[in-house]
Amino acid sequence: MRSRFVIPPIPDGWFQVAYSDELEPGQVLPLKYFDRDLVLFRTEDGQAKVLDAFCPHLGAHLGYGGKVEGSCIRCPFHAWRFDGAGQCTEVPYAKKIPPKAKMRAWHVQESAGLILVWHHTGEAAPPWHPPEVPEYKHPEWTEYERLRWQIRTRNQEMAENAVDSAHFHYLHGTSNMPSSQAEVKDHLLRVYSATGMETSRGHVDGWSRASPTDSGSAWCASRAWSKPCW
The band of 220, judged by pLDDT with boundaries at 50, 70 and 90, is low
Question: Which one-letter amino acid corresponds to residue 106?
Answer: W
Give 50-76 pLDDT, tens digit per residue: 999 999 999 999 999 999 999 999 999
Distance of alpha carbon 80 from alpha carbon 176, whole angstroms: 61
Q: Say yes or no to pLDDT of 229 above 80.
A: no
Distance of alpha carbon 126 from alpha carbon 107, whole angstroms: 8
Host H or E run for residue 189? strand 188-199
User: Which of the two residues, 209 and 11, has the higher pLDDT score?
Assistant: 11
Distance of alpha carbon 67 from alpha carbon 49, whole angstroms: 13
Give 76-129 pLDDT, tens digit per residue: 999 999 999 999 999 999 999 999 999 999 999 999 999 999 999 899 999 999
Quick check: 25 and 49 in contact, CB under 8 A? no
The band of 216, judged by pLDDT with boundaries at 50, 70 and 90, is very low
| pLDDT of amino acid 213 | 52
User: Which of the two residues, 1 and 152, has the higher pLDDT score?
Assistant: 152
Distance of alpha carbon 137 from alpha carbon 184, whole angstroms: 28
Distance of alpha carbon 186 from alpha carbon 143, whole angstroms: 29
User: Which of the two residues, 230 and 10, has the higher pLDDT score?
Assistant: 10
Mean pLDDT confidence for 219-229 = 52
Distance of alpha carbon 103 from alpha carbon 26, whole angstroms: 19
CATH class given for the domain over 13-119? mainly beta
Quick check: 75 and 90 in contact, CB under 8 A? no
- Written as one string, the DSSP assignment of 146-166 is ---------HHHHHHHHT-TH
Task: Output phi, psi for 9, to 5 deg.
Answer: -60, -30
DSSP state for residue 22 in the 8-state scheme: G
Q: pTM of the full predicted structure?
A: 0.82
